[in-house]
Structure 1
Amino acid sequence: MLKHTELEPRFVKGVPRELEPGVLYVSMEYATVVHGCCCGCGLEVVTQLSPTHWELNFDGEAISLWPSVGNWNLPCRSHYVVRKNKVLEAEPWSQSRVRAAQHREQEARDRYYGQPRTPTPPAPAALPISKPAPARRRSYSFSWFTDLFK
Protein backbone atom coordinates (compact mmCIF):
# COMPACT_ATOMS: atom_id res chain seq x y z
CA MET A 1 0.00 0.00 0.00
CA LEU A 2 1.36 3.39 -0.97
CA LYS A 3 1.32 6.24 1.51
CA HIS A 4 1.90 8.92 -1.13
CA THR A 5 -0.45 8.77 -4.11
CA GLU A 6 0.46 12.15 -5.56
CA LEU A 7 3.80 13.93 -5.99
CA GLU A 8 4.40 17.65 -6.28
CA PRO A 9 7.15 18.37 -8.84
CA ARG A 10 9.89 20.86 -7.89
CA PHE A 11 12.57 21.82 -10.34
CA VAL A 12 15.81 22.34 -8.46
CA LYS A 13 19.48 22.78 -9.25
CA GLY A 14 20.57 20.50 -6.41
CA VAL A 15 18.61 18.09 -4.26
CA PRO A 16 18.18 19.11 -0.60
CA ARG A 17 19.64 16.92 2.15
CA GLU A 18 16.22 16.51 3.78
CA LEU A 19 13.55 15.31 1.36
CA GLU A 20 10.05 16.59 1.88
CA PRO A 21 7.49 13.74 1.69
CA GLY A 22 5.35 13.85 -1.44
CA VAL A 23 7.78 16.04 -3.40
CA LEU A 24 9.46 14.98 -6.64
CA TYR A 25 12.73 16.90 -6.98
CA VAL A 26 13.82 17.30 -10.61
CA SER A 27 17.36 18.42 -11.38
CA MET A 28 17.72 18.97 -15.12
CA GLU A 29 21.34 20.03 -14.59
CA TYR A 30 22.17 16.59 -13.18
CA ALA A 31 19.52 14.71 -15.23
CA THR A 32 18.18 13.21 -12.02
CA VAL A 33 14.84 12.89 -10.26
CA VAL A 34 14.82 12.25 -6.49
CA HIS A 35 11.98 11.62 -4.05
CA GLY A 36 11.21 9.87 -0.82
CA CYS A 37 9.84 6.38 -1.47
CA CYS A 38 6.09 6.56 -2.03
CA CYS A 39 5.45 3.62 0.32
CA GLY A 40 6.30 5.95 3.20
CA CYS A 41 9.46 4.16 4.37
CA GLY A 42 11.31 7.47 3.98
CA LEU A 43 14.22 6.10 1.95
CA GLU A 44 15.61 8.11 -0.93
CA VAL A 45 14.76 7.02 -4.48
CA VAL A 46 17.01 8.30 -7.28
CA THR A 47 16.03 7.93 -10.93
CA GLN A 48 18.62 8.84 -13.54
CA LEU A 49 17.28 10.46 -16.68
CA SER A 50 18.87 9.21 -19.88
CA PRO A 51 17.88 7.49 -23.12
CA THR A 52 18.60 4.13 -21.47
CA HIS A 53 17.25 4.73 -17.95
CA TRP A 54 14.20 6.83 -17.09
CA GLU A 55 12.35 9.29 -19.26
CA LEU A 56 10.64 12.38 -17.84
CA ASN A 57 7.66 14.07 -19.45
CA PHE A 58 6.62 17.51 -18.22
CA ASP A 59 3.53 18.99 -19.89
CA GLY A 60 3.81 22.38 -18.16
CA GLU A 61 1.77 21.26 -15.17
CA ALA A 62 2.42 17.62 -14.38
CA ILE A 63 5.28 15.13 -14.54
CA SER A 64 5.33 11.53 -15.69
CA LEU A 65 8.24 9.09 -15.32
CA TRP A 66 8.73 6.01 -17.45
CA PRO A 67 9.44 3.16 -16.95
CA SER A 68 8.02 2.26 -13.57
CA VAL A 69 9.99 2.86 -10.39
CA GLY A 70 10.95 -0.50 -8.93
CA ASN A 71 12.72 -0.13 -5.60
CA TRP A 72 14.20 -3.63 -5.70
CA ASN A 73 17.18 -2.73 -3.50
CA LEU A 74 15.09 -1.19 -0.74
CA PRO A 75 13.60 -3.28 2.07
CA CYS A 76 10.06 -2.26 1.02
CA ARG A 77 10.56 -3.38 -2.63
CA SER A 78 7.80 -0.94 -3.63
CA HIS A 79 6.86 -0.66 -7.30
CA TYR A 80 4.90 2.16 -8.89
CA VAL A 81 4.42 4.42 -11.90
CA VAL A 82 4.38 8.23 -11.78
CA ARG A 83 1.86 9.54 -14.30
CA LYS A 84 0.75 13.18 -14.33
CA ASN A 85 1.90 13.62 -10.69
CA LYS A 86 -0.22 10.64 -9.61
CA VAL A 87 1.46 7.56 -8.12
CA LEU A 88 -0.06 4.34 -9.40
CA GLU A 89 0.87 1.20 -7.51
CA ALA A 90 2.22 -1.58 -9.73
CA GLU A 91 2.36 -5.31 -9.11
CA PRO A 92 5.26 -6.74 -7.12
CA TRP A 93 7.97 -8.55 -9.09
CA SER A 94 9.76 -11.78 -8.27
CA GLN A 95 13.54 -11.72 -7.97
CA SER A 96 13.89 -13.69 -11.23
CA ARG A 97 11.72 -11.15 -13.07
CA VAL A 98 13.83 -8.30 -11.64
CA ARG A 99 17.07 -10.01 -12.77
CA ALA A 100 15.66 -10.62 -16.26
CA ALA A 101 14.62 -6.96 -16.59
CA GLN A 102 18.02 -5.75 -15.33
CA HIS A 103 19.72 -8.00 -17.89
CA ARG A 104 17.56 -6.57 -20.74
CA GLU A 105 18.24 -3.02 -19.54
CA GLN A 106 22.00 -3.65 -19.46
CA GLU A 107 21.88 -5.04 -23.00
CA ALA A 108 19.93 -1.97 -24.15
CA ARG A 109 22.53 0.33 -22.57
CA ASP A 110 25.35 -1.61 -24.21
CA ARG A 111 23.66 -1.34 -27.62
CA TYR A 112 22.97 2.37 -27.15
CA TYR A 113 26.50 3.22 -26.05
CA GLY A 114 28.10 0.76 -28.48
CA GLN A 115 29.82 -1.33 -25.84
CA PRO A 116 29.61 -5.08 -26.03
CA ARG A 117 28.47 -6.72 -22.85
CA THR A 118 31.11 -8.81 -21.18
CA PRO A 119 29.42 -12.10 -20.45
CA THR A 120 29.37 -13.03 -16.82
CA PRO A 121 30.90 -16.46 -16.35
CA PRO A 122 28.45 -18.96 -14.92
CA ALA A 123 28.80 -19.75 -11.27
CA PRO A 124 30.79 -22.93 -10.72
CA ALA A 125 28.74 -25.97 -9.89
CA ALA A 126 29.06 -27.17 -6.36
CA LEU A 127 31.61 -29.93 -6.14
CA PRO A 128 30.99 -32.87 -3.87
CA ILE A 129 33.10 -32.79 -0.77
CA SER A 130 35.26 -35.87 -0.45
CA LYS A 131 37.55 -36.99 2.30
CA PRO A 132 41.13 -35.98 1.74
CA ALA A 133 43.51 -38.78 0.91
CA PRO A 134 45.54 -39.93 3.92
CA ALA A 135 48.94 -38.30 4.14
CA ARG A 136 51.75 -40.54 2.92
CA ARG A 137 55.16 -40.45 4.44
CA ARG A 138 57.72 -39.92 1.77
CA SER A 139 61.30 -40.99 2.00
CA TYR A 140 63.99 -39.54 -0.16
CA SER A 141 67.38 -40.95 -0.87
CA PHE A 142 70.23 -38.47 -0.84
CA SER A 143 72.93 -41.01 -1.58
CA TRP A 144 73.65 -39.41 -4.94
CA PHE A 145 74.29 -36.14 -3.13
CA THR A 146 76.68 -37.64 -0.60
CA ASP A 147 78.50 -39.47 -3.41
CA LEU A 148 79.48 -36.06 -4.79
CA PHE A 149 81.67 -35.37 -1.78
CA LYS A 150 83.56 -38.71 -1.64
Structure 2
Amino acid sequence: MMRHKRLEHRFVEHIPEILGPGVLYVSMEYATAVHSCCCGCGEEVVTPFTPTDWKMTFDGEAISLKPSVGNWNLACRSHYVIDRGQVIEADPWTDEQVEAERRRDKAAKARYYGATTVERPPAAAVTSTAARPKVGFWRRAVRWLGGGR
Protein backbone atom coordinates (compact mmCIF):
# COMPACT_ATOMS: atom_id res chain seq x y z
CA MET A 1 0.00 0.00 0.00
CA MET A 2 1.27 3.45 -0.89
CA ARG A 3 1.86 5.77 2.04
CA HIS A 4 1.96 8.85 -0.18
CA LYS A 5 -1.05 9.14 -2.47
CA ARG A 6 -0.03 12.52 -3.86
CA LEU A 7 3.26 14.26 -4.62
CA GLU A 8 3.66 18.00 -4.35
CA HIS A 9 6.20 19.19 -6.93
CA ARG A 10 9.01 21.65 -6.37
CA PHE A 11 11.19 22.97 -9.17
CA VAL A 12 14.75 23.23 -7.86
CA GLU A 13 18.20 23.68 -9.32
CA HIS A 14 19.85 21.23 -6.91
CA ILE A 15 18.22 18.29 -5.19
CA PRO A 16 18.31 18.74 -1.40
CA GLU A 17 20.31 16.27 0.68
CA ILE A 18 17.28 15.49 2.83
CA LEU A 19 14.12 14.76 0.85
CA GLY A 20 10.78 15.81 2.22
CA PRO A 21 8.16 13.05 2.22
CA GLY A 22 5.50 13.47 -0.45
CA VAL A 23 7.60 15.95 -2.48
CA LEU A 24 8.76 15.46 -6.08
CA TYR A 25 11.87 17.58 -6.64
CA VAL A 26 12.35 18.49 -10.30
CA SER A 27 15.64 19.86 -11.59
CA MET A 28 15.30 21.00 -15.18
CA GLU A 29 18.98 21.97 -15.17
CA TYR A 30 19.93 18.35 -14.53
CA ALA A 31 16.94 16.79 -16.35
CA THR A 32 16.01 14.73 -13.29
CA ALA A 33 13.26 14.28 -10.74
CA VAL A 34 13.93 12.83 -7.27
CA HIS A 35 11.54 11.83 -4.50
CA SER A 36 11.36 9.70 -1.41
CA CYS A 37 9.75 6.34 -2.29
CA CYS A 38 5.97 6.63 -2.14
CA CYS A 39 5.62 3.40 -0.14
CA GLY A 40 7.09 5.22 2.84
CA CYS A 41 10.34 3.21 3.10
CA GLY A 42 12.30 6.48 2.82
CA GLU A 43 14.59 5.35 -0.03
CA GLU A 44 15.59 7.94 -2.65
CA VAL A 45 14.09 7.39 -6.10
CA VAL A 46 15.81 9.07 -9.07
CA THR A 47 14.04 9.39 -12.43
CA PRO A 48 16.28 10.90 -15.12
CA PHE A 49 14.63 12.54 -18.13
CA THR A 50 16.23 11.06 -21.23
CA PRO A 51 14.98 9.75 -24.55
CA THR A 52 15.20 6.20 -23.14
CA ASP A 53 14.18 6.79 -19.50
CA TRP A 54 11.37 8.93 -18.06
CA LYS A 55 9.35 11.72 -19.66
CA MET A 56 8.00 14.51 -17.48
CA THR A 57 4.98 16.64 -18.30
CA PHE A 58 3.91 19.73 -16.43
CA ASP A 59 0.47 21.10 -17.28
CA GLY A 60 0.84 24.28 -15.24
CA GLU A 61 -0.61 22.66 -12.13
CA ALA A 62 0.76 19.15 -11.71
CA ILE A 63 3.47 16.81 -12.92
CA SER A 64 3.22 13.40 -14.54
CA LEU A 65 6.02 10.91 -15.14
CA LYS A 66 5.94 8.22 -17.79
CA PRO A 67 6.54 5.29 -17.65
CA SER A 68 5.73 3.93 -14.21
CA VAL A 69 8.24 3.96 -11.37
CA GLY A 70 9.39 0.43 -10.57
CA ASN A 71 11.72 0.30 -7.57
CA TRP A 72 13.08 -3.18 -8.32
CA ASN A 73 16.45 -2.51 -6.65
CA LEU A 74 14.85 -1.41 -3.37
CA ALA A 75 13.77 -3.79 -0.61
CA CYS A 76 10.16 -2.58 -0.95
CA ARG A 77 9.99 -3.31 -4.74
CA SER A 78 7.19 -0.74 -4.96
CA HIS A 79 5.63 0.06 -8.33
CA TYR A 80 3.49 3.09 -9.08
CA VAL A 81 2.48 5.71 -11.62
CA ILE A 82 2.72 9.46 -11.02
CA ASP A 83 -0.16 11.06 -12.92
CA ARG A 84 -0.88 14.77 -12.40
CA GLY A 85 0.64 14.56 -8.92
CA GLN A 86 -1.45 11.53 -7.94
CA VAL A 87 0.38 8.36 -6.95
CA ILE A 88 -1.40 5.33 -8.36
CA GLU A 89 -0.23 1.98 -7.05
CA ALA A 90 0.54 -0.50 -9.82
CA ASP A 91 0.70 -4.27 -9.78
CA PRO A 92 3.97 -5.81 -8.54
CA TRP A 93 6.22 -7.43 -11.13
CA THR A 94 7.77 -10.88 -11.05
CA ASP A 95 11.53 -11.32 -11.29
CA GLU A 96 11.01 -12.48 -14.88
CA GLN A 97 9.11 -9.28 -15.77
CA VAL A 98 11.82 -7.15 -14.19
CA GLU A 99 14.57 -8.97 -16.12
CA ALA A 100 12.63 -8.65 -19.38
CA GLU A 101 12.27 -4.90 -18.79
CA ARG A 102 15.97 -4.56 -18.01
CA ARG A 103 16.81 -6.30 -21.30
CA ARG A 104 14.37 -4.05 -23.18
CA ASP A 105 15.85 -0.95 -21.52
CA LYS A 106 19.42 -2.00 -22.33
CA ALA A 107 18.47 -2.64 -25.97
CA ALA A 108 16.68 0.74 -26.20
CA LYS A 109 19.75 2.53 -24.85
CA ALA A 110 22.03 0.67 -27.28
CA ARG A 111 19.77 1.61 -30.22
CA TYR A 112 19.50 5.26 -29.18
CA TYR A 113 23.03 5.96 -27.96
CA GLY A 114 24.91 3.50 -30.13
CA ALA A 115 28.40 2.42 -29.18
CA THR A 116 29.74 3.75 -25.90
CA THR A 117 33.09 4.68 -27.45
CA VAL A 118 33.65 6.41 -30.75
CA GLU A 119 36.85 5.95 -32.74
CA ARG A 120 38.01 9.42 -33.73
CA PRO A 121 39.96 9.88 -36.93
CA PRO A 122 43.09 12.06 -36.84
CA ALA A 123 42.17 15.77 -36.80
CA ALA A 124 43.57 16.27 -40.32
CA ALA A 125 41.24 13.56 -41.64
CA VAL A 126 38.09 15.37 -40.54
CA THR A 127 37.02 17.62 -43.38
CA SER A 128 33.35 18.24 -42.66
CA THR A 129 30.93 18.24 -39.77
CA ALA A 130 29.19 15.22 -41.33
CA ALA A 131 32.38 13.18 -40.85
CA ARG A 132 32.69 14.03 -37.14
CA PRO A 133 31.29 11.61 -34.55
CA LYS A 134 28.10 12.63 -32.78
CA VAL A 135 28.48 14.05 -29.29
CA GLY A 136 26.20 12.26 -26.82
CA PHE A 137 23.56 13.87 -24.62
CA TRP A 138 25.50 13.56 -21.34
CA ARG A 139 28.72 14.93 -22.84
CA ARG A 140 26.78 17.92 -24.27
CA ALA A 141 25.14 18.43 -20.86
CA VAL A 142 28.52 18.40 -19.09
CA ARG A 143 29.93 20.85 -21.64
CA TRP A 144 26.89 23.11 -21.27
CA LEU A 145 27.30 23.07 -17.49
CA GLY A 146 30.93 24.10 -17.93
CA GLY A 147 32.48 20.85 -16.76
CA GLY A 148 34.01 19.68 -20.03
CA ARG A 149 35.74 20.93 -23.12
Same-fold call, TM > 0.5? yes
- Following the alignment from structure 1 to structure 2, what is the Cα–Cα distance between the partners of residues 76 and 114? 33
DSSP 3-state at the match of 2:74? coil
- 1:32-81 per-residue CA deviation (whole Å, 9 max, x = no partner) reads 10000000011110011101000001011110000000000000000000
- Following the alignment from structure 2 to structure 1, what is the Cα–Cα distance between the partners of residues 19 and 56? 20
* Structure 1 residue aligned with 2:2: 2
RMSD: 1.0
Give 1:11's aligned amino acid.
F
* Structure 2 residue aligned with 1:115: 115
* Structure 1 residue aligned with 2:145: none
- Following the alignment from structure 2 to structure 1, what is the Cα–Cα distance between the partners of residues 88 and 115? 35
- % identity of equivalent residues: 61
5+ long unaligned stretches in structure 1: 117-150
Give 1:44's aligned amino acid.
E
Flag the structure with larger Rg. 1
**Counterpart check, 1:25 vs 2:25:** yes
Give 1:112's aligned amino acid.
Y
Distance apart, 1:113 and its partner CA: 1.2
TM-score normalised to the size of structure 1? Answer: 0.76
Distance apart, 1:115 and its partner CA: 2.9
* Residues matched between the structures, number: 116
- Write the mapping of 1:31-70 to structure 2, written as runs, cut at 5 A: 31-70=31-70
- Following the alignment from structure 1 to structure 2, what is the Cα–Cα distance between the partners of residues 67 and 99? 16
Give 1:21's aligned amino acid.
P
* Structure 2 residue aligned with 1:11: 11
